[in-house]
């Protein structure tokens, strides 16, 4: 019967694993993880707010808005994120020299700006697809009920494609009973 692994190999493997686990909980690595989570949360929040207007502009009847939105999404979706980070951190201060002397322009701010630019482009395309998924029947039903466009959009008619939430208009537009008409009337007023 061959002998098992020698004790020296077993001890060095165990110490290596302990070393890696200890390195994963160093203060610097934990601080970096916190910064990454904060950056991701901020980028998502800002990008979510900016992607809806961009998604609406992608299908806008006005040519300048549509051209701007399509150019923006094409450019920022085509460029790798690493390239955008390098351009914003290294290139932007070359174009705007005042950024070098400013206190607020930090690596965090540059990463936030670059990641937001790219994320807005991706999220705008996602939101555009979601808005296109809303059937024309829902839009016609809201119009027939007298809902104003702004109200029907934010009450669940058009936004149902984006959120697929279950609002009064979404759930019950098909079976219009007395309670449903009252519910929709309350939304409209």
Q: Tens digits of per-residue pLDDT, 43-67?
A: 999 999 999 899 999 988 999 999 9
Tell which of 132, 151, 169 closes a domain. Answer: 132
Q: Domain check: are 30 and 108 in the same one?
A: yes
Q: What is the pLDDT of residues 118-151, one digit of tens each?
A: 999 999 999 998 888 877 777 777 778 777 766 7
Biggest distance spanned by C-alpha atoms of the chain:
87
Contact 78, 122 (CB under 8 A): no
Q: Domain check: are 151 and 75 in the same one?
A: no
Q: How many CA atoms lie within 13 A of 181 on its CB side?
A: 5
Q: Domain check: are 54 and 80 in the same one?
A: yes
Contacts for 35 with CB less than 8 Å, ≥ 6 apart: 108
Look at residue 11 and tell me if it is in a domain: no
Domains of the chain: total: 2
Q: Domain check: are 41 and 69 in the same one?
A: yes
Q: Domain check: are 108 and 165 in the same one?
A: no
Q: Domain check: are 66 and 118 in the same one?
A: yes
Contact 54, 73 (CB under 8 A): yes
Q: Domain check: are 80 and 34 in the same one?
A: yes
Distance CA 186, CA 12 (A): 72
Q: Domain check: are 155 and 123 in the same one?
A: no
- pTM here is 0.67
Supply the range of the domain harboring residue 117: 22-132
């Amino acid at each position: 019967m061959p002998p098992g692994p020698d004790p020296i190999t077993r001890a060095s493997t165990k110490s290596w694993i302990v070393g890696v686990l200890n390195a994963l909980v160093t203060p610097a690595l934990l601080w970096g993880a916190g910064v990454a989570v904060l950056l991701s949360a901020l980028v998502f929040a800002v990008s979510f707010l900016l992607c809806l207007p961009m998604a609406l502009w992608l299908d806008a009847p006005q040519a300048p808005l549509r051209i701007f939105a399509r150019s923006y999404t094409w450019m920022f979706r085509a460029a790798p994120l690493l390239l955008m980070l390098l351009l914003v951190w290294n290139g932007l201060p070359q174009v705007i020299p005042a950024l070098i002397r400013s206190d607020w322009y930090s690596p965090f701010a540059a990463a936030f700006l670059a990641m937001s630019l790219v994320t807005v482009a991706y999220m705008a395309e996602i939101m555009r697809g979601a808005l296109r998924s809303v059937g024309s029947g829902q839009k016609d039903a809201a119009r027939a009920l007298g809902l104003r466009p702004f109200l029907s959009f934010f009450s669940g008619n058009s936004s149902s494609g984006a959120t697929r939430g279950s609002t009064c208009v979404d759930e019950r537009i098909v079976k219009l009973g007395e309670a449903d008409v009252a519910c929709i009337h309350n939304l409209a007023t």
